Amino acid sequence: MALEQSALIPAHVGIIMDGNGRWATQRGLPRSEGHRQGLETAKKIVLAASRVGIRYLSLYAFSTENWKRTSDEVGFLMGLIKHHLRSELDFYKRNGIRIVHSGDPTGLPQDIVRDIRDVETATAHFDGLVLNMAINYGGRDEIVRAVRRIAQGPNPGALDAAAIAAALDRPDIPDPDLIIRTGGEYRLSNFLLWESAYSELFFSDALWPDFSSLDLEGAIADFSRRERRFGGHNE
């Protein structure tokens, strides 16, 4: 089913890309193979998002809790992220995609932080899709860091919602209109906690490596039929 012309396209979509490990295990493959396939899916979905006119796409790639995994898996994921940042710069340039990062850089290996800054700089002037990569990201951690920034800034007493929002990692990006989680779990797992206050949620049973551009269009079509009230009413 193609997306109808009249469909309302969310400006900002967040995706919790879950199910890589199960996808691999079901095939008798190591979990790392699921992550490799998951990255291919991410590239496909980035292009599809750009094609349908989404302005901002936030992809949850590694959470502040994912350090609990085996050192093998964490090492593989860090290697995959690093290799991707270095080898796919051309992919992002070709498609006019601007990369930004959310998450705590201080907890990440220095070489990855450098690579993130390099792609941010190299793509900063693009005006196509903004791809927000959430790496070593946790919603609670982001709020704690925001409050700390305010406490250490010139106006520590000005603690209201607007001040906190402005001190988050990506104050330039509007709150997500739609958050998609694949992999059949119904939770946010610490993704964009502050920003998701009024996001529409869409859960897909597809394991992330199987998620297709058609699935993305299905989620947008569903979003398009929702009535958002933000605590008010539409009469």
Supply the residues annotated as catalytic.
18, 66
Of 15-23, 114-122, 138-146, 150-158: span binding ligand IPE (CB under 6 A): 15-23
Which entry of ligand IPE, Mg ion, none binds 63, CB below 5 to 8 A by partner kind? ligand IPE
Nearest-CB residue to Mg ion? Answer: 18
Q: How far apart are CA 208 and CA 20, in angstroms?
A: 6
Of 17-25, 26-34, 56-64, 71-79: span binding Mg ion (CB under 5 A): 17-25
Please work out the total of residues on this chain that contact ligand IPE, with binding judged by CB under 6 A: 17
End-to-end CA distance of the chain: 32
Site string for ligand IPE, 56-95 (x = CB under 6 A): ----xxxx--x----------x------------------
CB of 18 or CB of 141, closer to Mg ion: 18
Q: Strand, coil or helix: what is 179?
A: strand
Structure tokens at 123: 């793509």
Which entry of Mg ion, ligand IPE, none binds 138, CB below 5 to 8 A by partner kind? none
Of 16-24, 25-33, 52-60, 124-132: span binding Mg ion (CB under 5 A): 16-24
Contact 98, 127 (CB under 8 A): yes
Structure tokens at 204: 């897909």
Contact 97, 54 (CB under 8 A): no
- Under the binding rule (CB under 6 A), the answer on residue 179 touching ligand IPE is no
From 10, 12, 13, 18, residue interacting with Mg ion (rule: CB under 5 A): 18
Binning the chain into helix, strand and coil, the percentages to the nearest 5 are: 45, 15, 40
Least gap, CB of 195 to ligand IPE (angstroms): 16
Of 12-20, 101-109, 144-152, 164-172: span binding ligand IPE (CB under 6 A): 12-20
* Radius of gyration of the chain measured on its C-alpha atoms: 18
Structure tokens at 29: 């493959």
Q: Which residues lie below 8 Å from residue 138, measured CB to CB, with a gap of 6+?
A: 63, 64, 65, 103, 104, 190
Q: Alpha carbon of 137 to those of 46, 49, 225: distances in Å?
A: 19, 22, 30
Structure tokens at 194: 């502050």
CB of 16 or CB of 54, closer to ligand IPE: 16
Least gap, CB of 173 to ligand IPE (angstroms): 18
CB of 60 or CB of 211, closer to ligand IPE: 60
Least gap, CB of 171 to ligand IPE (angstroms): 22
